[in-house]
Amino acid sequence: MNTQHIHIQFLPQSFSLQKQCTSFTVVKRPSWFNSCSTSGAIVRCSVNEIEEQKQKQQVVKRAYPFHEIEPKWQSYWENNRTFRTPDEIDTSKPKFYVLDMFPYPSGAGLHVGHPLGYTATDILARLKRMQGYNVLHPMGWDAFGLPAEQYAIETGTHPKITTLRNINRFRTQLKSLGFSYDWNREISTIEPAYYKWTQWIFLQLLKRGLAYQAEVPVNWCPALGTVLANEEVVDGVSERGGHPVIRKPMRQWMLKITEYADRLLDDLDDLDWPESVKEMQRNWIGRSEGAEMDFRVLDSDGQERDIKITVYTTRPDTIFGATYLVVAPEHPLLSSLVSTTQSQNIEEYKNLASRKSDLERTELQKEKTGVFSGCYARNPASGEAIPIWVADYVLGSYGTGAIMAVPAHDTRDHEFALKFDISIHSVVMPDDESSSQSEKAYTGEGLIVNSSNLISGLDINGLSCQEATSKVIEWAEKTGNGKKKVNYKLRDWLFARQRYWGEPIPVVFLDGTGETVPLHEAELPLTLPELDDFTPTGTGEPPLSKAVSWVQTTEHSSGKPARRETSTMPQWAGSCW
Ligand code: ANZ
């Protein structure tokens, strides 16, 4: 028998190879073959059988000549507007709305994940039509976004040109798959008639205090003179050019998602989702119950100054064990704490910390770093003067950006205290004796010890951790030293980008006072001005600031001179809304 070696890619589960050759011998099989989902192997196969296979494939082709059938029906559907949802509908029939997630029209065309989801929804749309429903099944484009702008910077091609070209390709590809979309209802997030409503929603949120401005750190690349998206930063340097990137505070628009944290959490219970997905959502929201405690800052004579540091803690029961405070390098009070002898060190430390991501800073196994501020605060429970340190394992963006450190009962604080020789006071006695001998922090439950002070009027000795927590919060609220507090890991949404290719934010700032005034609804849509030069300004100002005659305007009701907002909305704005 005539044989030859061929190399075939195949899936072991389906073993499609068996369909191609009636007999084969695997002559070279990789060791990982059995456990791998896709693999290749050298097989020996009879040439006669391969010929036979080819013939069979032709028969298969004749059995379903898709090149004839599909274009025929697709053009029939197109010409007869088969899937059009009429404007006037028979309202006695029930309605059914099938909405897909709109694709981002990238230069690469559809990927396999698109038809995967769209096929499922298309089956549903067709079924519901057959069952007599009024079905609305539209398609659209999530068409603002970074790649088109980056391409514009590199080639000078306007993002709209690239985006429309890509949309045409996506539409052709989707049509060739025969999905039953009502193409007369196609929408695109970059069209002013659409983004008028994206801007309208922003105005409603602003009116209700759900959109606000805050100073938040962004990825700033001094060499490129621009703010970078997280995905443009790889290992602390810019993806383009490999220049260092630092975190720099900048005024940004935020959306107050945290306002809904509890509702998002509570409503998960009623959702018919897999429990594992719901649990991921709960962790993402990350509800944390604790207290905020105030520590008065002391002057060099040990007298209480007029400033206090508020910390967030989930363990108020350990307050007598708080032997130092830590403030994040970006803490707003830091400059008023630092003694002159320490200011140089602190500046250098802040600089170093600005080069690290939050993830790098909070990694457990990372060696702890920090600098003493030169200043002390009073522990309101024990009355002791405790040092204030600056360390980047405390994040500026969580809680209050400051902690009371309890090295006897927190692993990170323990490591830090050992490194910098800070005292460690044990205040929780483990039920199990052996844990108390440990060289490590004891983070478990137990009985409270060494926790009583006549002067502050707080005594929690002998209580369980839980009882002590309630008692400390009660004491703090009564004495004005703190209050109960709930925090969330969930962050508000940073809703501004220093980019050209996005929806303009519909507000102006009055000249002189800088007061923010929202546009009148009748002024919408505020259209994106034409620009020829998409390159960064070099100052961190968004590219839109180059559209001078667009930026300089007057405020609608007063006619006063004003400047338009030059940041734009993030890509998700149009597609989510
Ligand atoms: C004292 C203490 C004693 C703490 C102890 C823990 C154990 P979750 O559950 O994540 O909310 N913390 C507070 N703000 C922080 C920040 N901005 N950056 C880093 N750490 C911060 O954790 C809350 C605990 O994490 C808080 O409780 C605080 O340390 C720390 F035996 O306070 B704890």
Measured by CA distance, the residue closest to atom 25 of ligand 1 is 313
Query: E strands within 269-356?
Result: 287-298, 304-313, 324-327
- pLDDT at residue 572 greater than cutoff 60: yes
- What is the whole-number distance in angstroms between the Cα of residue 441 and the centre of ligand 1? 14
Closest atom of ligand 1 to 487 CA is 11
Sorting pLDDT into bands at 50, 70 and 90, what band is 50?
A: low
pLDDT exceeding 90 applies to what percent of the chain? Answer: 69
- Compute the average pLDDT of residues 105-115: 92
- The pLDDT, as a whole number, for residue 437 is 59
User: Ligand 1 in contact with 416 (CB < 6 A)?
Assistant: no
pLDDT at residue 40 in the model: 38
Neighbours of 454 (CB within 10 A): 8
Under 8 Å between Cβ of 103 and 97: no
pLDDT, greater one: 148 or 115? 115
Lowest mean pLDDT among 147-161, 370-384, 516-530: 147-161
What is the structure's pLDDT at 363? 80
Q: Tell me, what's the pLDDT at 393?
A: 95
Beta-bridge partners for 309: 295
Give residue-wise pLDDT tens across range 166-216.
999 999 999 999 999 999 999 999 999 999 999 999 999 999 999 999 988
Q: What is the pLDDT of residue 340?
A: 82
Q: Which pLDDT value is given to residue 227?
A: 81
Across the range 519-545, mean pLDDT stands at 91
How far, in Å, is the centroid of ligand 1 from the Cα of 410? 8
Quick: pLDDT tens for 259-303. Answer: 999 999 999 999 999 999 999 999 999 999 999 999 999 999 999
Inter-residue contact 550 to 477 (CB < 8 Å): no
Give the residue-averaged pLDDT of 429-446: 81
Q: Is the CB of 361 under 6 A from ligand 1?
A: no
Q: What average pLDDT score do residues 452-472 get?
A: 97
Q: How confident is the model at residue 13 (pLDDT cuts 50, 70, 90)?
A: very low
Reading the block at residue 118, the tokens are 């769209």
| 416 CA to centre of ligand 1 in angstroms | 14
* Domains defined along the chain, listed by start: 68-190 (3.40.50.620), 196-256+493-574 (no CATH), 288-485 (3.90.740.10)
The Å distance, Cα 71 to ligand 1 centre, comes to 63
* CB distance 395 to ligand 1 below 6 Å: yes
Query: What is the chain's length?
Result: 577
In the block, which residue shows the tokens 């938040």?
216
214, 258 contact by CB (below 8 A): no
- Grouping H, G, I as helix, E, B as strand and the rest as coil, residue 532 is coil
Residue 138 structure tokens: 């539209």
Residue 396 alpha carbon, nearest atom of ligand 1: 17
Among the residue ranges 13-22, 55-64, 92-101, 179-188, the one predicted with the least confidence is 13-22
Q: Is the CB of 324 inside a 6 Å radius of any atom of ligand 1?
A: no
Return d(Cα 343, Cα 43) in angstroms, integer: 72
Residue 313 in contact with ligand 1 by CB distance below 6 A: yes
> Cβ(252)–Cβ(494) under 8 Å?
yes
Tell me which residue has its CA closest to atom 1 in ligand 1.
Answer: 313
- Ligand 1 neighbour 379 (Cβ under 6 A): no
On whether the CB atoms of residues 390 and 333 are closer than 8 A, the answer is: no
Q: Which residue has the higher pLDDT, 385 or 577?
A: 385
Higher local confidence (pLDDT), 147 or 400:
400
Over range 449-460, report the average pLDDT: 97
293, 315 in Cβ contact below 8 A?
A: no
Report the atom number in ligand 1 closest to the C-alpha of 441. 31
What is the pLDDT averaged over residues 522-541?
90
Overall average pLDDT of the 472-496 stretch: 95
401 Cβ below 6 A of ligand 1: yes
Ligand 1 mean position, distance from CA 356 (Å): 20
Bigger pLDDT: 389 vs 25: 389
Instruction: Provide the pLDDT for residue 36.
Output: 36
Q: Is the CB of 472 under 6 A from ligand 1?
A: no
Kindly give the distance from the C-alpha atom of residue 312 to the centroid of ligand 1, in angstroms, as a whole number. Answer: 7
- pLDDT over threshold 60, residue 30: no
Q: How far is the CA of 403 from the centre of ligand 1 (A)?
A: 6
Give the count of alpha carbons within 13 A of 112, CB side only. 0
**Closest by Cα among 458, 474, 463 to 383:** 458
Model pTM? 0.76
Substitution site in 315, 358, 415, 445 for ligand 1 pocket (most atoms within 8 Å of beta carbon): 315
Tens digit of pLDDT for each residue in 139-168? 999 999 888 888 888 888 999 999 999 999
Which two structure tokens, joined as six digits, stand for 355? 């080069």
Output the pLDDT for position 61: 57
